[in-house]
Amino acid sequence: MKIEAVLLHRIRMELITPFATSYGAYTDRETILVQVIDENGISGWGECVAFATPWYTEETVLGAWHVLEQFLIPSLLKEQIQHPRQLPQLWQAIKRHAMAKAGLEMAVWDLYAKLQKKPLYQLIGGMRDEIQVGVAIGLQPTIEQYYEWIDQYIAQGYARIKVKIKPGQDVSLIAALREKYPQLPLMADANSAYTLKDIEHLRQLDRYQLMMIEQPLAADDIIDHAELQHAMSTPICLDESILQAEDVRKAVQLGSCQIINVKLGRVGGWNEALRIHELCVEKRVPLWCGGMLESGIGRAHNMALATLVGFTIPGDISASSRYWQRDIIAPEVTVNQGKVALPKLPGIGVEVDTDYVSALTLNKLEITTDS
């Protein structure tokens, strides 16, 4: 594998409906598409899922752009690796910056799979050709709008519904949803909106058979989640707290959670996600693939991740049309009776609509072996 150029495309896509969480609301999504090109002109694509502002983790679009341009891309072009598994070693002197690393690593894995003429999901050991998927609904201003969205998503066959909660929009919301949808597979994502002072308040949720409560406490916490999990019967799922397999080992040892949401961007890419998967299969901790409001490129990688045997819970891998008027890939991701079929073409199995990417591009950078 001889990578000769890396291109970064910073694009902005308009969300068809605002996405609101306990941190705030988004109406559009800036993201970085990462393209690696080999000596024969074959491209691999990845996505750096950092948001424009540092509300989810400390990474941002412009911060990741800088780390990619100044450190990650030059080291990749200089070393010329033969397998994407070599990347963590290559970048060990570059601390953290998980989403920047993941975007470039994903592109290298896509290129490598294309050169092996294999679908990426088969290359990484995926066990299924189609995956069950769920959908996340942002905070809504009225209960009627929850009903409107949930009725629509149930009609589309989504296998589970995730709603956001925060203080003041939690117990009564979940009670109303459970009342209207007694059998619906339902989960709540708190995005760190609570503290241990809220234990008694959160325990009220135990009566509503939620599948899980995602990340109720601080984004960098594992210890307090253990105290909360021991006080609640509802499974806790960790998202922001899990940056690497070592965090999983500690969370499992302390009993901080019963489920883990894996996001390729949050854990630094495929290599660490595969380590987390291996550990969770060994420890029997169920996994699902989280979403980051990705374009079709990040979504295609997430689909491959969700084919692994340990991903037993439907993830946030909704159809392209749930987010965008038009996606940047062909074919777009579609959901049929709550399932997404994996394309059987080499790599991520989708074509990137480069003309449309150009139309959405805010700025672009090309770095070659001659740069």
Annotated binding-site positions for Mg(2+): 189, 214, 239
* Residues contacting ligand 164: total by CB under 6 A: 12
**List 250, 263, 283, 344, catalytic entry:** 263
Token code pair at residue 206? 């135990």
Choose the binding region for Mg ion from 126-134, 151-159, 181-189, 270-278 (rule: CB under 5 A). 181-189
Binder to ligand 164 among 30, 59, 110, 316 (CB under 6 A)? Answer: 316
Token code pair at residue 352? 């990137």
| C-beta closer to Mg ion: residue 105 or 239 | 239
Scan residues 157-196 and list those touching ligand 164 (CB under 6 A): 189, 191
Query: What's the Cα-to-Cα distance from 320 to each of 14, 15, 150, 292, 338, rounded to whole Å?
Result: 12, 11, 17, 13, 13
The Cα–Cα gap between 311 and 294 comes to 19
Binder to ligand 164 among 291, 310, 346, 347 (CB under 6 A)? Answer: 291
Binder to ligand 164 among 73, 293, 328, 360 (CB under 6 A)? Answer: 293
98 lines the binding site for ligand 164 (CB under 6 A): no
268 lines the binding site for ligand 164 (CB under 6 A): no
Choose the binding region for ligand 164 from 71-79, 87-95, 291-299, 342-350 (rule: CB under 6 A). 291-299
6 lines the binding site for ligand 164 (CB under 6 A): no
Query: What's the Cα-to-Cα distance from 151 to each of 122, 211, 213, rounded to whole Å?
Result: 35, 19, 22
Q: Which residue is nearest to ligand 164 (CB)?
A: 291
The Cα–Cα gap between 150 and 345 comes to 33
Of these partners, Mg ion, ligand 164, none, which one is at the site of residue 291 (CB under 5 to 8 Å by kind)?
Answer: ligand 164
Min CB(321)–ligand 164 separation in Å: 12
For residue 164, indicate whether it is catalytic. Answer: yes
Query: Cis link prior to 331 (omega < 30° from 0)?
Result: yes
117 CB-side CA count, 13 A: 0
127: left (phi over 0), alpha (psi -120 to 50) or beta: alpha
Min CB(240)–Mg ion separation in Å: 7
| C-beta closer to ligand 164: residue 111 or 213 | 213
Scan residues 46-75 and list those touching ligand 164 (CB under 6 A): 56
Min CB(50)–ligand 164 separation in Å: 11
Nearest to 267 by CA among 31, 100, 86: 100
Min CB(240)–ligand 164 separation in Å: 7
214 lines the binding site for Mg ion (CB under 5 A): yes
| C-beta closer to ligand 164: residue 56 or 149 | 56
21 lines the binding site for ligand 164 (CB under 6 A): yes
Query: What's the Cα-to-Cα distance from 276 to each of 43, 69, 106, 119, 189, rounded to whole Å?
Result: 28, 28, 16, 21, 21
| C-beta closer to Mg ion: residue 261 or 320 | 261
Of these partners, ligand 164, Mg ion, none, which one is at the site of residue 105 (CB under 5 to 8 Å by kind)?
Answer: none
Across-strand partners of 137? 163
**List 164, 283, 339, 344, catalytic entry:** 164
Scan residues 333-352 and list those touching ligand 164 (CB under 6 A): none
| C-beta closer to Mg ion: residue 4 or 224 | 224
For residue 263, indicate whether it is catalytic. Answer: yes
* Residues taking part in catalysis: 164, 263
The site for ligand 164 (CB under 6 A) is made up of: 21, 56, 136, 189, 191, 239, 290-293, 316, 318
The site for Mg ion (CB under 5 A) is made up of: 189, 214, 239
